[in-house]
Amino acid sequence: MRRDFDLQPDGTDAEPPGPERNRRDPLVPSGCCGSLRDADPKPRRFDAARLSVSGNGTPHGHKSITMPLDLSRRLAESEPLLLDGATGTELERRGAQTELPLWSARALVDLPDRVREIHSDYVEAGAEILTANTFRTQRRTLERGGLGGRAEDLTVLAVQLARRAADTAAPGREVFVVGSAPPLEDCFEPGRVPDDTRLEREHVEHAAHLVRAGVDAILVETMNTTREAIAALRAARRAGVPALVSFVCWEGARLLSGEALETALDEVAAENPVAVGVNCLPPSNVTACLPVLRASGLAFSVYANTGAPDRDVGHPRGEDWPPDEFADCAMGWLDGGARIVGGCCGTTPAHVRAMAQRMRR
């Protein structure tokens, strides 16, 4: 059974997602191929006119998206970039079901319009980089949730939703869409990182899906080991798109694996990421990481969460860092040399708006 917002087998369908719904019926795989055998190694964009179709079928595209936007060029400019805020916790805050293992991926099936609404709210708040909701669209996770055959079409849908929101930005305003590539297993459990063979195979598949979907870059994020970060960066390179890489550090400048952030940055630098960084760490721990990031000599990003993860839900609930206080911290990250700032779990469009106002976006 196909939902009305499913993609066609050639992955080029631009039908808008159906109306929001709160279905709780069993989720049925759509039979998408999801295979790498016929993956196109070159970045490929969908037709702009077909993608830029509003809910009533009226084209409203105003800029070409036939070529990837050049994030490297933008990073070389003097003005820093504003990344968006959380998607998973924001979906939860807006009433979507986000139980594990699917977490944020379930909304792609249940509530695609809500995903797009969140992206649009981030654009409206001033974000210049949208992170597509592909944090949990890898085959490994979807299989656990009964959607294993839909890794490719849900990844493509997630990127399309972000792209449609990006296309609502004012003419001349550049909004990048990056694909999230997180650890294959729990971000906060480095002991569960798969072996190298699985890492390579699964990150290569996810990167190929993201590139087919037309991302401007891949955001390798919330990494808890250098080993997996390198596997994901190599997958992005093989897929032919630029990549950023970001680590999660909760205590001092160390990954959750115990590896020193300094060593991790040295090792990933050989893979030529366009930026390195830290994310999903409490703002209080950014201070320890900033000098290390700066000393790397690489462009770097900081997008913290809003406090220590809640024991029950596994991520911060957001009470600890309201928008203005969070944004004040972010200005300190910029003063410390960050080229990209934004928010991770617990942050909202209000956090991004508060940062945008301070950055005069």
Q: Which residues bind Zn ion (CB under 5 A)?
A: 280, 305, 344-345
Task: Name the residue with tokens 């590139």.
Answer: 211
* C-alpha torsion 301→239→262→300, nearest 10: -20
Pairing relation of β-strands 81-82 and 176-181? unpaired
Of the two residues 162 and 248, which places its CB atom closer to Zn ion in the complex? 248
Of the two residues 42 and 311, which places its CB atom closer to Zn ion in the complex? 311
Q: Which of 25, 330, 290, 30 is nearest to 151 (CA)?
A: 30
Provide, rounded to whole angstroms, the least separation between the CB of residue 59 and Zn ion.
35
CA distance 338 to 322: 21
Of the two residues 261 and 344, which places its CB atom closer to Zn ion in the complex? 344
Provide, rounded to whole angstroms, the least separation between the CB of residue 322 and Zn ion.
17
Does residue 218 sit in helix, strand or coil? Answer: strand
Task: Name the residue with tokens 């990073």.
Answer: 75
Provide, rounded to whole angstroms, the least separation between the CB of residue 87 and Zn ion.
9
Of the two residues 132 and 208, which places its CB atom closer to Zn ion in the complex? 132
Residue pair 237/268 in contact by the 8 Å Cβ criterion: no
CA distance 220 to 230: 9
Of the two residues 175 and 280, which places its CB atom closer to Zn ion in the complex? 280
Of the two residues 98 and 305, which places its CB atom closer to Zn ion in the complex? 305
Provide, rounded to whole angstroms, the least separation between the CB of residue 297 and Zn ion.
26
Q: Report how far apart, in Å, the C-alpha atoms of 70 and of each of 129, 196, 206, 215, 289 are.
A: 12, 31, 21, 11, 27
Of the two residues 30 and 257, which places its CB atom closer to Zn ion in the complex? 257
Please count the helices (runs of H) and the strands (runs of E) in the chain: 13, 8
Provide, rounded to whole angstroms, the least separation between the CB of residue 345 and Zn ion.
3
Provide, rounded to whole angstroms, the least separation between the CB of residue 309 and Zn ion.
9
Backbone angles phi, psi at 210, to 5 degrees: -65, -40
Provide, rounded to whole angstroms, the least separation between the CB of residue 31 and Zn ion.
32
Residue pair 254/261 in contact by the 8 Å Cβ criterion: yes
